[in-house]
């Protein structure tokens, strides 16, 4: 019976891959190589690390060789789930140190689902071990980490796909092709991005002993070692600038990256930001609860706004973007899009998110799954594998991930300094601002070494 189930799943993967490539506009390319299983490992077995891995299992012939996590309980649970989900039924090897995992295994692909402060070192080490990498966004904690990751990717010749999967979201792909690319918006001169989710963890938990199942030193790695006040990896870490870049680095990076993709934008010419902790002053959190940012392009402003309090400006679009053209506007989110033409020309267009509950019924029983994001992540994984097979750049290549991530980090620098910043990616400096330039590179806790090498 198991062989029949395996054959059926293999057939479904091949069929779904062909359909997905068509939706991505790559129907002219050969189907993915599904003959030999790709040897895969995951670093960071929390919520989204497992979610990414399960989406890959759904669309490709892979063998999960190893899993790595500093939380032994989390790791044990992930091993059990993965052995149930992968076709072979094999039990992945367990590691608490990703460097040992890379050294002891011959891997094709490494997925990285750790907190932001680990992305750079783990990506670079995986590339140097000869692996292709799928890394969650944002790609880095500081700007020069991103520069080092980009350099390592190009030197290795390996594919690095970043988890900015809005580029692989079916209804957003349609919006780009059928509305933006066909000129229904006309000339776009203004873009608004926003997030009004109440997602800023806060509180005053007491300091307590580190539990035996957690290697807190290794979890912290190159970041500052905060007093332990509970499991940091259940989203608590995102509320501290020591490990990430706040809501700007978590949520703006998605929408900025999507707007850049839709409008074919590169580096902003200037970035300004203002904000802080204006309302939610109780608790330990040190990320901004209110922030605005301006990303300037030629005759185009991209404006970001987030609040982790109050109501959304538009209840139907609490995390979204609006492209304003001289012929119409496009409102888009992970859940839907609405095109509204100006005047009497054309008709409004509405499209909802695509779900794939019938094709992938296992989605319905997966704990904490984002059902609306699952189809996008599957397409994102297929695009990643397609790039590997064809030695090409994926839709969310590390360079684009770096531009979107660094732009958000630069917005935080602007907010902290109270002045605009202009980044020169060739010289790796903030133009005319020595102090801001020093902020491009964060401090690493010993014995970890920052990966950026001065030329």
CATH number for position 281? 3.30.360.10
Domain shared by 89 and 185, yes or no: no
pLDDT above 60: residue 20: no
pLDDT above 70: residue 27: no
Structure tokens at 287: 């990320």
In which domain, by residue range, is 133 found? 2-165+374-397
The pTM assigned to this predicted structure is 0.94
Strands (E), 254-408: 270-276, 290-297, 300-307, 319-325, 328-333, 336-341, 349-352
Q: What is the DSSP string of 405-445?
A: HHHHHHHHHHHHHTS-B-EETTTTEETT-HHHHHTTS----
Residue keyed to tokens 């299992």: 57
Closest among 110, 151, 145, 144 to 129, alpha carbons compared:
110
Note whether residue 75 is domain-resident: yes
Structure tokens at 364: 């319905």
Closest among 292, 300, 293, 291 to 266, alpha carbons compared:
300
Domain shared by 180 and 254, yes or no: yes
Note whether residue 96 is domain-resident: yes
Q: What percent of the chain has pLDDT over 90?
A: 90
* The pLDDT of residue 32: 84
Segment 58-83 shows an average pLDDT of: 97
Domain shared by 190 and 321, yes or no: yes
Domain shared by 98 and 123, yes or no: yes
User: Tens digits of per-residue pLDDT, 275-313?
Assistant: 999 999 999 999 999 999 999 999 999 999 999 999 999
pLDDT above 80: residue 21: no
Note whether residue 49 is domain-resident: yes
Closest among 382, 397, 395 to 32, alpha carbons compared:
382
Strands ordered across the beta sheet of 109-112? 93-95, 62-68, 38-43, 109-112, 132-135, 160-162
Domain shared by 383 and 414, yes or no: no
Note whether residue 107 is domain-resident: yes
Q: How confident is the model at residue 5 (pLDDT cuts 50, 70, 90)?
A: very low
Angle value at C-alpha 119, between 115 and 122, nearest 5 degrees: 120
pLDDT above 60: residue 200: yes
Domain shared by 328 and 421, yes or no: yes
Structure tokens at 446: 């010993």
Q: How confident is the model at residue 17 (pLDDT cuts 50, 70, 90)?
A: low
Contact between 410 and 404 (Cβ < 8 Å): no
Note whether residue 449 is domain-resident: no
Domain shared by 100 and 172, yes or no: no
Domain shared by 85 and 156, yes or no: yes
What does the mean pLDDT of the chain come to? 93
Segment 91-97 shows an average pLDDT of: 98
pLDDT above 70: residue 158: yes
CB crowding 229-261: b at 16 or more within 10 Å, else e: eebbbeebbbbbbbbbbbbbbbbbbbbbbbbbb
Helices 143-156, 398-417: axis angle to 10 degrees equals 170
Segment 42-59 shows an average pLDDT of: 96
**Within 13 Å and on the Cβ side, how many CA atoms surround 385?**
29
Q: How many domains does the chain have?
A: 2
Angle value at C-alpha 103, between 102 and 104, nearest 5 degrees: 95
Cα dihedral 211, 217, 220, 224 in deg (nearest 10): 120
Segment 22-34 shows an average pLDDT of: 57
Note whether residue 446 is domain-resident: no
Segment 121-147 shows an average pLDDT of: 98
Angle value at C-alpha 168, between 164 and 173, nearest 5 degrees: 125
Note whether residue 68 is domain-resident: yes
- Pairing mode, strands 328-333 and 336-341: antiparallel
* d(C-alpha 40, C-alpha 82), whole Å: 12
* The pLDDT of residue 15: 52
Number of Cβ within a 10 Å radius of residue 173: 21
Domain shared by 413 and 288, yes or no: yes
CATH assignment of the domain containing 26: 3.40.50.720
Note whether residue 43 is domain-resident: yes
* d(C-alpha 256, C-alpha 193), whole Å: 7
Domain shared by 273 and 384, yes or no: no
Domain shared by 186 and 99, yes or no: no
* d(C-alpha 402, C-alpha 145), whole Å: 9
pLDDT above 70: residue 84: yes
Segment 441-445 shows an average pLDDT of: 97
Domain shared by 63 and 156, yes or no: yes
């Amino acid at each position: 019976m198991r062989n029949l189930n395996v054959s059926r799943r293999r057939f479904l993967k091949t069929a779904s891959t062909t359909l997905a490539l068509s939706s991505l506009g790559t129907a002219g390319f050969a189907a993915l190589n599904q003959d030999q299983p790709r040897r895969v490992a995951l670093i960071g077995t929390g919520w989204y690390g497992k979610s990414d891995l399960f989406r890959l299992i759904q669309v490709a012939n892979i063998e999960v060789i190893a899993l790595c996590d500093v939380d032994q309980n989390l790791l044990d649970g992930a091993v059990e789930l993965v052995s149930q989900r992968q076709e072979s039924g094999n039990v992945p090897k367990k590691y608490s140190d990703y460097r040992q995992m890379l050294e002891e295994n011959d891997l094709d692909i490494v997925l990285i689902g750790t907190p932001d402060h680990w992305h750079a070192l783990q990506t670079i080490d995986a590339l140097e071990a000869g692996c292709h990498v799928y890394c969650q966004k944002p790609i880095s904690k500081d700007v020069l980490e991103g520069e080092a990751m980009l350099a390592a990717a190009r030197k290795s010749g390996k594919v690095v796909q970043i988890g900015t999967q809005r580029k692989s979201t079916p209804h957003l792909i349609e919006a780009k092709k059928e509305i933006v690319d066909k000129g229904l918006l006309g000339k776009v001169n203004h873009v608004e991005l926003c997030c009004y989710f109440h997602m800023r963890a806060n509180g005053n938990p007491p300091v307590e002993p580190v539990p035996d199942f957690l290697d807190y030193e290794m979890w912290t790695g190159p970041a500052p070692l905060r007093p332990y006040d509970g499991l940091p990896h259940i989203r608590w870490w995102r509320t501290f600038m020591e490990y990430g870049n706040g809501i700007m680095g978590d949520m703006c990076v998605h929408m900025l990256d999507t707007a850049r993709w839709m409008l074919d934008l590169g580096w902003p010419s200037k970035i300004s930001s203002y904000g802080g902790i204006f309302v939610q002053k109780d608790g330990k959190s040190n990320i901004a609860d209110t922030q605005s940012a301006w990303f300037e392009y030629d005759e185009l402003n991209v404006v970001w706004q987030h609040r982790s309090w109050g109501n959304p400006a538009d209840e139907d679009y609490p995390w979204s973007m609006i492209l304003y053209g001289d012929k119409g506007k496009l409102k888009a989110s992970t859940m839907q899009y609405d095109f509204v033409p100006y005047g009497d020309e054309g008709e409004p267009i509405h499209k909802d998110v695509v779900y794939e509950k019938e094709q992938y019924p296992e989605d319905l029983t997966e704990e904490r799954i984002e059902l609306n994001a699952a189809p996008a992540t599957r397409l994102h994984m297929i695009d990643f594998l397609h790039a590997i097979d064809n030695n090409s750049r994926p839709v969310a290549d590390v360079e684009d991930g770096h531009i979107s991530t660094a732009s958000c980090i630069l917005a935080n620098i602007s907010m902290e300094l109270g002045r605009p910043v202009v980044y020169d990616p060739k010289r790796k400096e903030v133009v005319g601002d020595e102090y801001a330039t020093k902020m491009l590179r964060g401090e690493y806790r010993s014995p970890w070494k920052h990966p950026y090498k001065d030329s």
